[in-house]
Amino acid sequence: MSATQSTTASAATAPDPARWKGWIPVIGLEVHCQLRTRTKLFCGCEYRFGAEPNTRTCAVCTAQPGALPVLNREALAYAIRAGLALGADIAPWSKFDRKNYFYCDLPKGYQISQFDRPFCTGGGITLESGHRIRLTRIHLEEDAGKAIHDRGAHTLVDLNRAGVPLIESVTEADVRSPEEAHEYLERLKEILLHAGVSDCDMEKGSLRVDVNVSIHRPGEGWRKRVELKNLNSFRNVAAAIEHEIARQIAIYESNDPSQQVVQETRLYDAQAGVTRSMRGKEEAHDYRYFPEPDLLPVQIDAAFLAEQREKLGESPTALRERYQRELGLSAYDAGVLTASPAVSRWFEECAKLCGSPKDAANWIQNEILRGLSNEQRPAAAIAELRVTPAGLAQLIGLVQKGTLNVPGGRQVLRAMLETGKDAAVLVRELGLEQVSDTGALEQWCREALVGKDKVIADVKAGKEKAIGALVGPVMKASKGAANPQVVTEILLRLVRELP
């Protein structure tokens, strides 16, 4: 949360005060995003999630005497690309600093980060409501290792992650509610995914969120702020903010001198739905920042900046607008299909092959995405499917031509996902090809009309929707192989022919 913000700014973006008994929340987000480089930020060690502990380390990332860092150019490129995607200003000159603190997973006793001259300032994300969440800064830094505390009396340390490149984006205190925090994070994830700088997988720790929360009365200065950690999903971020606002309100309104809101770091217990005190909150001076003497300042020339700008993909916002404008999709459909670049690419290929973007959108949303085993990782999950965009396009074509009805198409798609077989092959194997014998269809329809005098009377009175009650029996008689639309047309014709 920026120290330069004023209470006037928070009041200008305040939500309906009735929700929190007249109190105004002040919320800022700090998001660490792991860049998708092959090697670490200052050494040549390859990082792989889930590798055997302490097998991806070297003299640099374990801080052996005399080992010197060398900046990873690819990490810098990804960091700049992320800043450009977020509309930030890229500094032509920036530097690295040492952030000093002691912990068992920090082998050097300091973290190489950026303090007063980050590579990126400004930018932000505009929410659907039009409210803009501004970014204070984005800086580049190395990750710490991992401390494992649940081993009885011992703490184990894995340094595989030490030195992995991160960007930390810090918002102004513009977030006005838990819902806005959730939407901001969804938009941020979309932007970073489409920029190609990270996989943003929270399960692997590629995206980590800290939240600063305080509350105050209208017209007064800001009060003590609390930092929330251990937030492993966007849903938990929103839930933790909601609880913390309520906790602070309860303390202030209790007027109990033994209860105080103190500036501290708290962990969120998702099972209990509460935050718990972890430690006192540090200030910048506690870290004793000073310039990193082993790394030269970073200078970004115009050519390098232009190269990164050119490599930026189409933004999610531009993609949504194009899908609505050129493909005729609804705003909702466009939003679902642009949440992940992998899903967007899958959709575009399928839509092009089947010739109907709307049909492709419906099948992908209702049948493909809904069935993915892990909704948190759509890019990985859709890449692992046994069905390709071309395979789904073929299936859609069979439905469009009337070879297969929609329920049969769903059955075929399920079989395709399980076996990887061709749609046309499965239609034959499952015996799902639609009945084209109009004589058989008409006979089933005549049988369905027997004894249905009420339905017949309603249809003759102009209530044609009543015929829908007879479509089911015909579909059952055809074992699902009839075309419901053709069945409806035949039933209506037969009713009109009756005296």
Inform me whether the pLDDT recorded for 331 exceeds 90.
Answer: yes
Q: Which of 339, 338, 364, 360 is nearest to 351 (CA)?
A: 360
- Both tokens of 332, joined, read 């909702």
In the block, which residue shows the tokens 């499952």? 430
User: What's the CATH number for 438-497?
Assistant: 1.10.10.410
- Binned at pLDDT 50, 70 and 90, residue 489 comes out as confident
Tell me what pLDDT residue 451 has: 87
Mean pLDDT within 93-122: 95
Other Cβ atoms within 10 Å of 405 Cβ, number: 25
Inform me whether the pLDDT recorded for 15 exceeds 70.
Answer: no
| DSSP code of residue 447 | H
Mean pLDDT within 445-452: 89
Task: Show me where the domains of the chain are located.
Answer: 7-303, 341-430, 438-497
* β-strands 274-280, 264-269 pairing: antiparallel
Q: Please report, as a single letter, which amino acid is at residue 439.
A: G
Mean pLDDT within 181-203: 95
Inform me whether the pLDDT recorded for 152 exceeds 80.
Answer: no
pTM assigned to the model: 0.82
Alpha helices in 234-301 (DSSP H): 234-254
More confidently predicted of 38 and 487: 38
Other Cβ atoms within 10 Å of 121 Cβ, number: 18
Tell me what pLDDT residue 8 has: 34
More confidently predicted of 221 and 370: 221
Mean pLDDT within 463-482: 84
Helix (H) or strand (E) holding 165: strand 165-171
| DSSP code of residue 46 | B
Q: Which of 151, 143, 114 is nearest to 204 (CA)?
A: 143
More confidently predicted of 361 and 284: 361
Tell me what pLDDT residue 374 has: 46
Inform me whether the pLDDT recorded for 14 exceeds 50.
Answer: no
Inform me whether the pLDDT recorded for 282 exceeds 80.
Answer: no
* β-strands 93-94, 298-299 pairing: antiparallel
* pLDDT tens digit sequence for 17-36: 578 888 999 999 999 999 99
- Binned at pLDDT 50, 70 and 90, residue 434 comes out as low
Inform me whether the pLDDT recorded for 317 exceeds 50.
Answer: yes
The Cα–Cα gap between 429 and 451 comes to 36
Least confident of 363-367, 369-373, 408-412, 423-427: 369-373
- Both tokens of 144, joined, read 């710490």
The Cα–Cα gap between 486 and 286 comes to 76
Total length of the chain: 499
Question: Can you name the residues that pair with 231 across neighbouring β-strands?
Answer: 209
The Cα–Cα gap between 367 and 426 comes to 17
Contact 65, 183 (CB under 8 A): no
Tell me what pLDDT residue 379 has: 54
- Binned at pLDDT 50, 70 and 90, residue 279 comes out as confident
Inform me whether the pLDDT recorded for 208 exceeds 80.
Answer: yes
- Binned at pLDDT 50, 70 and 90, residue 100 comes out as very high
Inform me whether the pLDDT recorded for 5 exceeds 60.
Answer: no
First to last CA, the chain: 79
Average pLDDT, the chain: 89
Inform me whether the pLDDT recorded for 366 exceeds 60.
Answer: yes
Tell me what pLDDT residue 63 has: 95
